[in-house]
């Protein structure tokens, strides 16, 4: 059928830099996901939460994040693979800093539209455009988070 589900939980030790924020020696993360991969269709979703693990743009670590990702792709027989995806990471109870009084804020939020073209099993080219959904606000300004859209192109060769 091409369907898979997954649930993961981990408790890694925090690095020296992470411990400097005073939130303890351990980090925690758990995730659940599902995918469908059959009949030239690929669709996947993932939800996760992290505690004391996710870095912010300005060398802070978010105490808690909630993360959601989704993607849908279709593989044409002639090598083209269009894709659309959505990613959001929301920080909870973020530390205050100059220009931001603390609280909840989106760390990442975008829609990505792209396509790959597979010449063969070893080589492909891609182009993608990321529509950044973050607005300029107190958090993005204080943490130095980019709010611009981004474009990418590339070529991949797998040995």
Predicted local distance difference test score (pLDDT) of residue 123: 98
Predicted local distance difference test score (pLDDT) of residue 6: 67
The pTM score is 0.85
Predicted local distance difference test score (pLDDT) of residue 2: 61
**Number of domains observed in the structure of the chain:** 1
Least confident among 24-28, 112-116, 127-131, 147-151: 24-28
Q: For 65-74, write each residue's pLDDT tens digit.
A: 999 999 999 9
Are residues 33 and 67 in contact, defined by beta-carbon separation less than 8 angstroms?
no
pLDDT of 10 strictly over 90? no
Q: How confident is the model at residue 58 (pLDDT cuts 50, 70, 90)?
A: low
Q: Which domain holds residue 138?
A: 3-157
Contacts of 151 (CB under 8 A, 6+ apart): 127, 128, 129, 130
Q: For 81-97, write each residue's pLDDT tens digit.
A: 999 999 999 999 888 88
β partners of residue 6: 33
Report the number of secondary-structure helices (H) and strands (E) in the chain: 2, 8
Question: What CATH number is given to the structural domain containing 87?
Answer: 2.40.160.10
């Amino acid at each position: 059928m091409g369907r898979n589900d997954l649930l993961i939980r981990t408790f890694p030790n925090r690095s020296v830099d992470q411990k400097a924020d005073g939130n303890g020696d351990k980090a925690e993360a758990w995730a659940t996901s599902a995918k469908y991969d059959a009949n030239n269709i690929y669709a996947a979703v993932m939800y996760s939460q992290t505690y004391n693990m996710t870095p912010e743009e300005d060398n802070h670590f978010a105490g808690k994040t909630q993360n959601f990702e989704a993607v849908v792709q279709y593989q044409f027989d002639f090598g083209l693979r269009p894709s659309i995806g959505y990613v959001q990471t929301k920080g909870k109870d973020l530390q205050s800093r100059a220009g931001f009084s603390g609280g909840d804020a989106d760390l990442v939020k975008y829609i990505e539209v792209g396509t790959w073209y597979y010449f063969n099993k070893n080589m492909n080219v891609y182009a993608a455009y990321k529509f950044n959904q973050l607005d300029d606000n107190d958090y993005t300004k204080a943490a130095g988070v980019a709010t611009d859209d981004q474009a990418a192109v590339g070529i991949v060769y797998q040995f």
